[in-house]
Amino acid sequence: MRTTILGYPRIGAHRELKFATERYWAGRADAAELEATAATLRRTVWTELRDAGLDTIPSNTFSLYDHVLDTSVMVDAVPARYRDLDGLDRYFAMARGTADRPPLEMTKWFDTNYHYIVPELEPGTRFRLADGGRAKPLAEYLEARELGIETRPVLVGPLTYLMLAKAAPGTPDASAAPDVSATPGAFGGFVPLDLLDRLVEVYAELLERLAGAGARWVQLDEPVLAGDLGERETEALARAYRRLGGLPSRPRIMVAAYFGAVAPGPLAELARTDVEAIALDFVAGPGNLDAVASAGGLSRKTVVAGVVDGRNVWRADLARARSTYAVLLGLAGRVELSSSCSLMHVPVDLGTEPSLAPDVRERLAFARQKVAELVTLAAGLRSGVPPTAPAAPPASGTTPPVEDGPGRSDRKVRFAAQQARLGLPDLATTTIGSFPQTPEIRRARADHKAGRVDDAAYTEAMRAEIARVIALQEELGLDVLVHGEAERNDMVQYFAERLDGYAATENGWVQSYGTRCVRPPILHGDVSRPAPMTVGWTAFAQSLTGRPVKGMLTGPVTMLAWSFVRDDQPLAATARQVALALRAEIADLEAAGIAIVQVDEPALRELLPLRAADQPAYLEWAVAAFRLATSGAADATQIHTHMCYSEFGEIITAIAALDADVTSVEAARSHMELVADLDAAGYANGIGPGVYDIHSPRVPPAEEIEANLRRALRAVPAGRLWVNPDCGLKTRAYPETRAALANMVSAARAVRATL
Ligand code: GLN
Ligand code: ZN
């Protein structure tokens, strides 16, 4: 009975890595200091895991920025524009760009909130083991061994690496091949998977070197196995692991498939290779038990059973873990116990949360506690003593049935009622909600939280800020105003702090990307709204102006996506509870005279299941939750929504089904194609394709915005077209915000004049 984990947080219990890296970037620390912090963090993790009694300890789970970027550097997949740099300069240039070269793209790691740096490959990419005998996994293996700790180096598997890569810009694109059913790669089109054989040779060299250094095991992460694999990918999987499995000199290989269940086909392929162990996720993929049974062929392999949730903060159900273990014993040669995936997706230590309520705290386990759970579980299995049950979650009050009422009228009726009330022009101008968060605003919030500033003074400061933002918008001539969200630290945490059933942590940081960490709130019980959450600020803003002020709420899906959510009831049920709280908030906003409410759902795409077969059920409850939140609104109340990402493909029908009166989307960078797509999906309401990119301080010239608007007008009539930036302005500064919005308003007026 052995225990391991698939990975551990790399940022440090107090975000030491973030601070050290940022000091280095700012020129306040040199490379040696950064490396010293990094080495301390690695040593701390290894020794802690050993002292906790874990049997096998992973290494190479540390990264200065991202483990996929580390892999690109390791195999020398460095695009030409960075090649004149070396070492840390090159590494951080790829991650973050420099004054004269853009960074590599960054995107979400599967359905988590971690972002990786996307490899950029082309047909001519020549992989090689860049640092040879000093390659990072080898160096970290040896570093741990110096400390007397034997580890299992963790690598991104070759299939996953290539499937997460993109073809370099300008590379002939296989998806543009004339016959879409043809094998990608035919017709001169290129997909990164074409490079598999070459990449596998680099892994082969690395494995041989690891074996030479004495490594007994290596872990190859292949989370793509939890998604849909086509025939070509399954064949690539088999080819890669037949080759690596057949190496004469290599460590034993554990292939880790996590974030869902593996389909029996690919699992059977893997079982036919010589790899010694397969790690499976029995938390996100309970279907893995069936997959193991039906794939067969595992009777001579080790199954590493991921029974402790690596992505959520709840204590494990040890009894259930034991029964999973018992079933597996009959199917596999050996069974070991593990986390379901790397623990990098949960905070480091519950010990740094002294002020969580005891009844919540006793139900939680962060990374350090999860390691202890595995050790306890194994000890219990050895001794035969049954585990004590985890603290039971509070009984869930059933969500009261909602009198859905007649719901909202047909869109045409709504449009007429809203126009009669609001009288907005064609190409109405607005913003997405937040205005720049100045140092003064942040200081006021921090002072209030720390008790240095009392409630009255804080309210005064926020009201003064709201008054400034309203005056600015009037001066700029915007049609629909916002209060600016100065009081919000974060669009989810603000609401979490005001809803019952949610708790905030003090130090529960999780890496989002590079040095950016987030602190997701914990949704632990039944959600309800003890009091209005936004009405005071919004009504105050409205009292200052004759123009409509748009209320601003965070939607139910986003409230779940950016939190740790209870797992004792379906997400759909929790989403309903959040939706009901929002529904009550909208009613209160209406009663306070607010005519427009925006319900943001930027995370709608993020929770989309990895498997196509699971997607319709998710989209159904996600759309239902949004509609439950908004369908109590009067016809004359205009409901807006906002989403911000550029790949809308799979969810376009769902966006249309939300049936918001106005939908604003990040589209400045996807050239308005989206407008046409939404139209094709039957969406006939208002649409606000972002007319400029707020992610950079660049001020878009009015002519450029005009051109964007004219392009959009080819797809959508002027009465339905809204004019807005592509996301909130909170990360921008005032000078560029003022200039950009002025250009946006004048562009809208210029186009309006020609209608
Ligand atoms: N209303 C939010 C803002 O403007 C929306 C943020 C988002 O889309 N992520 O900041
Ligand atoms: Zn946005």
Ligand 1 probe mutation, 552, 665, 727, 731, most atoms within 8 A of CB:
727
Q: Whole-angstrom Cα distance, residue 727 to residue 668?
A: 10
Query: From the CA of 598, how far away is ligand 2's center (Å)?
Result: 12
Q: Is ligand 1 within 6 A of the CB of residue 433?
A: yes
Query: From the CA of 728, how far away is ligand 1's center (Å)?
Result: 5
pLDDT of residue 643: 92
Q: Which of 549-558, 663-672, 715-724 has the lowest mean pLDDT?
A: 663-672
Q: Which of 137-146, 334-343, 393-402 has the lowest mean pLDDT?
A: 393-402
In the numeric block, which tokens belong to residue 150? Answer: 């034997």
pLDDT of residue 455: 97
Give the helix/strand (H/E) hosting 504. Answer: none
Nearest atom in ligand 1 to the alpha carbon of residue 728 is 4
The DSSP call for residue 195 is: G
Question: Does the model's ipTM exceed the 0.95 cut?
Answer: yes
- Supply the pTM of this predicted model: 0.94
Q: Is ligand 1 within 6 A of the CB of residue 177?
A: no
Nearest atom in ligand 1 to the alpha carbon of residue 727 is 8
Type of residue found at 280: L
In the numeric block, which tokens belong to residue 580? Answer: 């009901």
In the numeric block, which tokens belong to residue 517? Answer: 């960490």
Q: Is 14 marked active-site?
A: no
Mean pLDDT, to the nearest integer, of 285-310? 94
pLDDT of residue 672: 66
Please tell me the number of Cα atoms within 13 Å of 284 on its side-chain side: 28
Confidence category of residue 169, pLDDT binned at 50, 70, 90: confident
**Bridge partners, residue 304, by sequence:** 279, 336
pLDDT of residue 697: 86
669 vs 632: which has the higher pLDDT: 632
Nearest C-alpha to atom 3 of ligand 1 is from which residue? Answer: 728
pLDDT of residue 180: 39
Task: Name the 3-class secondary structure at 190.
Answer: strand
Q: Is ligand 1 within 6 A of the CB of residue 552?
A: yes
Q: CB–CB of 153/140 below 8 Å?
A: yes
For the chain, the C-alpha Rg in angstroms (whole number) is: 27
Nearest atom in ligand 1 to the alpha carbon of residue 431 is 4
Q: Is ligand 1 within 6 A of the CB of residue 644?
A: yes
Nearest C-alpha to atom 4 of ligand 1 is from which residue? Answer: 728
Q: How far apart are the first and last CA of the chain?
A: 75
How many Cβ atoms are within 10 Å of 411's Cβ, its own excluded?
15
pLDDT of residue 179: 41
CATH 3.20.20.210, the chain: domain bounds: 16-383, 412-752
CATH C-level class of 412-752: alpha beta
pLDDT of residue 186: 43
pLDDT above 60: residue 644: yes
Type of residue found at 177: A
Q: CB–CB of 59/141 below 8 Å?
A: yes
pLDDT of residue 125: 96
Q: Which ligand is nearest to the CA of 433?
A: 1
Confidence category of residue 390, pLDDT binned at 50, 70, 90: low
Confidence category of residue 405, pLDDT binned at 50, 70, 90: low
Query: For domain 16-383, is the CATH number 3.20.20.210?
Result: yes
Q: Which residues contact 187 (CB under 8 A, 6 or more apart)?
A: 174, 177, 178, 179
Please tell me the number of Cα atoms within 13 Å of 714 on its side-chain side: 11
What residues are designated binding site for 5-methyltetrahydropteroyltri-L-glutamate? Answer: 15-18, 108, 113, 516-517, 562, 606
Q: Report which of 538, 503, 224 is spatially closest to residue 361, judged by C-alpha positions.
A: 503
Query: From the CA of 645, how far away is ligand 2's center (Å)?
Result: 8
Query: From the CA of 726, how far away is ligand 2's center (Å)?
Result: 6
Query: From the CA of 664, how far away is ligand 2's center (Å)?
Result: 9
Mean pLDDT, to the nearest integer, of 84-105? 94
Q: Is ligand 1 within 6 A of the CB of residue 340?
A: no
Q: Whole-angstrom Cα distance, residue 478 to residue 111?
A: 37
Q: Whole-angstrom Cα distance, residue 264 to residue 245?
A: 20
pLDDT of residue 679: 83
Q: Under the phi-then-psi rule, with left for phi > 0, alpha for psi from -120 to 50, and beta for the rest, what region is 184?
A: beta
pLDDT of residue 750: 98
Let me know if 643 is exposed, middle or buried by CB neighbors in 10 A (0-12, 13-18, 19+): buried
285 vs 297: which has the higher pLDDT: 285
Nearest atom in ligand 1 to the alpha carbon of residue 666 is 8
Catalytic hit among 483, 640, 671, 695? 695
pLDDT of residue 181: 40
Confidence category of residue 37, pLDDT binned at 50, 70, 90: very high
Q: What is the pLDDT of residues 420-479, one digit of tens each?
A: 999 999 999 999 999 999 999 999 999 999 999 999 999 999 999 999 999 999 999 999
Cα of 702 vs its chain's centroid, Å? 34
**Pairing between strand 510-513 and 516-518?**
antiparallel
Ligand 1 probe mutation, 430, 431, 434, most atoms within 8 A of CB:
434
pLDDT above 70: residue 395: no
Ligand 1 probe mutation, 483, 491, 601, 662, most atoms within 8 A of CB:
491
Spell out the alpha helix ranges (H) of 433-524.
439-449, 455-476, 493-496
pLDDT of residue 402: 61
Q: What is the pLDDT of residues 617-633, one digit of tens each?
A: 999 999 999 999 999 99
Nearest atom in ligand 1 to the alpha carbon of residue 558 is 9
Spell out the alpha helix ranges (H) of 477-530.
493-496
**Bridge partners, residue 723, by sequence:** 429
Phi/psi at 345 (5° precision)? -90, 0
Q: What is the pLDDT of residues 571-610, one digit of tens each?
A: 999 999 999 999 999 999 999 999 999 999 999 998 999 9
Let me know if 230 is exposed, middle or buried by CB neighbors in 10 A (0-12, 13-18, 19+): exposed
Confidence category of residue 41, pLDDT binned at 50, 70, 90: very high
Q: What is the pLDDT of residues 57-69, one digit of tens each?
A: 999 999 999 999 9
125 vs 189: which has the higher pLDDT: 125
Q: Is ligand 1 within 6 A of the CB of residue 255?
A: no
Q: Whole-angstrom Cα distance, residue 306 to residue 277?
A: 13
pLDDT of residue 296: 83
Q: Report which of 681, 749, 685, 691 is spatially closest to residue 717, judged by C-alpha positions.
A: 685
pLDDT above 60: residue 49: yes
Query: From the CA of 600, how far away is ligand 1's center (Å)?
Result: 7
Q: Is ligand 1 within 6 A of the CB of residue 491?
A: yes
pLDDT above 80: residue 386: no
Look over the chain and give the mean of its residue pLDDT values, rounded to a whole number.
93
Q: Whole-angstrom Cα distance, residue 165 to residue 570?
A: 33
Let me know if 220 is exposed, middle or buried by CB neighbors in 10 A (0-12, 13-18, 19+): buried
pLDDT of residue 753: 97
pLDDT above 70: residue 361: yes
